Amino acid sequence: MQYAFTKMHGLGNDFVVFDAFTQPLRLAPEQFRLIGDRHFGIGCDQILLVEPPTLPDTDFNYRIFNADGDEVEQCGNGARCFARYVRDKGLTEKQEITVGTRAGIIKLFVEADGMVRVNMGVPLLEPGRIPFVADRQAADYPVEVLGETITLGAVSMGNPHAVIVVDDLENAPLERIVTALQQHPRFPQRVNVGFMQILSADAIALRVFERGVGETLACGTGACAAVVSGRLRGLLNKSVKVSLPGGALMIEWADEQAPVLMHGPAASVFEGNIDL
């Protein structure tokens, strides 16, 4: 059967988006893997489904599948693409869009210049809710990795993130640490791993390795988690420019009771049909 899709990206973090709002769409894990395959399919970091609302007072439901077929809770760059998609396709004329996800409700704001602002909600910091195995909540945690002790922040933005501060993003042994952390028993649902280089109190550089995907050109929830972790450690101000390999996001976070706000672009690349 043929399915229409739109290829989109947010700072190079790329997605295949399907309309499951106007027509039913059920795909198996092996079909998601085919779609995500960059050699035999369309190729993307994640597949996004636009669905009818399932929660009260929401406009849509938003589901996210990694290229390996696993469903995940949240994706910030995908949320911006979601907002552009539903407006470009005439599914809504609203500028403020309320969307249900596996992680809860988020609010998307499409601005006049085409940029999208996302209210990502209040971050989860209690270890059991991330989930992360620890006796108590802290700004950072010592974790044994590859025979050494590293210090990391643990934050959930609807999906779990480990945030590690490094002096040099280009020369740190990132891949070795990622592989060990994603199999670490203290992260029972695996983890997205971000490496943050502090440029100033208002600016960071960031590389993120996502569960089931690998390193991506940008990660919206990873950018949010990095700023939250940096602020908890007293390293960052409340408004921070996050430079990722694919471009920059602006992230704002006032305090532990406040939602995280993300501001950045979203773009359509092409449309097509795929036989599944």
3-state secondary structure the chain: CEEEEEEEEECCEEEEEEECCCCCCCCCHHHHHHHHCCCCCCCCCEEEEEECCCCCCCCEEEEEEECCCCEECCCHHHHHHHHHHHHHCCCCCCCEEEEEECCEEEEEEECCCCCEEEECCCCECCHHHCCCCCCCCCCCEEEEECCEEEEEEEEECCCEEEEEECCCCCCCCHHHHHHHHHCCCCCCCCCEEEEEEEEECCEEEEEEEECCCEEECCCHHHHHHHHHHHHHCCCCCCEEEEEECCEEEEEECCCCCCCCEEEECCEEEEEEEEEC
pTM: 0.90
Provide the pLDDT for residue 43.
Answer: 97
> Any known ligand binding at 159?
yes
Domain boundaries, the chain: 2-120+265-275, 127-258
Catalytic residue, candidates 44, 75, 81, 224: 75
Looking at domain 2-120+265-275, does it have CATH number 3.10.310.10?
Answer: yes
77 is in an annotated binding site: yes
- For position 1, what pLDDT does the model report? 83
Would you say residue 24 has pLDDT above 90? no
pLDDT of residue 23: 87
Q: What would the mean pLDDT of 96-120 be, rounded to a whole number?
A: 94
Q: Which one of 44, 81, 219, 224 is the catalytic residue?
A: 219
pLDDT at 261 > cutoff 90: yes
Determine whether the annotation assigns residue 215 to a binding site.
no
Q: Is 75 a catalytic residue?
A: yes
Q: Is 192 annotated as a binding residue?
A: yes
Residue 171: per-residue pLDDT: 86
- CATH homologous superfamily of domain 127-258? Diaminopimelate Epimerase; Chain A, domain 1 (3.10.310.10)
Residues 69-90 pLDDT 10s: 999 999 999 999 999 999 999 9
**Catalytic-residue membership of 81:** no
| Stretch 45-74: mean pLDDT | 96
Q: Is 176 labelled a binding residue?
A: no
127-258 matches 2-120+265-275 in CATH topology: yes
